[in-house]
Amino acid sequence: MYDITDVENGKYVLKKPSETVEFRFRNGLELTQYTLSENYMEVSEWLEHLQFLFGCSKTIDILFDEQSFGFNIDSLKETFQNVGKLVLLHSGCYCFNKLVLQKFLQMEILRVSPSCFQNSRIPHDLLIQNIQSICTKKTNDEQLTHLKLNDWLMMNSRILGIFNLQKCLKELNMFLKLWIKGSNPNLEYITFRYLNWNVEDVNTLMKGIKNQTMPRTFARAHRSVNWIAYGGRDIQRYDGVKATVHCLKTMDGQATVIMLVWHDHCFVP
């Protein structure tokens, strides 16, 4: 375990340990721990060494959880420079949450709790970023995520996943109509969950939209999310690109809406 020390502004920074460092390796459910004495390497040096030793990617995953606002964000950014996946839960400080997203903005995958933002509203300056995949992280005390039509239209990611969404089928119906006209051209996959499923939800979602109901035995594999779609309702954009929409009831009584866009590169032969 690495020691931390106070700096002038009261934030914690990582430093070289005085005596020992511990490593924990997980293989499935098996956890192995090693302790090394008389260590003289910094965290960043160990990170580079382990990446080389195990042939790992240069990009890493990083998680910010409760009380992480006590760390100096610049020190963390200097130590962990190549972040590919960022998981951000509410640190306890909205300002620190914002700093994390600013400093690690070049990530490809973002998993974020809506409670990181005031009023559980994901800001537009985050939605418009060229982040490949954005999904909200579900927590036990999660409030409903509020998304309006303009929020959906601002999204620039290929993959979107929203949990605990406030039910907004009329807005999503309009979103599908605008997608048909050419909005959100980068979109490949959307999934979201909401409460209070109703058997008429799929009709509300598809109202006024020309669509084709596909046989339940008709299977298509989508490359972007490694998922096989059975059946669903196909819609077509103005330029001929098709998408499949599912509105399903989950085992716990919630509803899941899934939209898969079939760009040429999304098909699995």
pLDDT, tens digit, 9 for 90 and up, residues 169-218: 899 999 999 999 999 999 999 998 888 888 889 999 999 999 999 999 99
> Where does the pLDDT of residue 250 fall: very low under 50, low under 70, confident under 90, or very high at 90 and above?
confident
Give the residue numbers spanning the domain of 267: 167-269
End-to-end CA distance of the chain: 47
In terms of domains, do 129 and 204 share one? no
Instruction: Tell me the pairing of strands 233-236 and 212-213.
Output: antiparallel
Of 31, 56, 81, which residue constitutes the final position of a domain? 56
Looking at residue 105, what DSSP letter applies?
T
Whether pLDDT at 236 is above 60: yes
Highest mean pLDDT among 15-24, 119-128, 230-239: 230-239
Mean pLDDT of the chain: 86
Q: Could you give the percent of the chain with pLDDT greater than 90?
A: 42
pTM: 0.84
Amino acid 6: pLDDT: 46
The pLDDT of residue 243? 97
Q: Looking at 20-24, 45-49, 206-210, which range is the least confident one?
A: 20-24
Same domain, 149 and 192: no
The torsion defined by the Cα of 175, 180, 185 and 189, in degrees rounded to 10, comes to: 60
C-alpha 224/C-alpha 108 separation (Å) is 14
Q: What letter would DSSP give residue 177?
A: H
Pick from 56, 82, 100: which residue ends a domain? 56
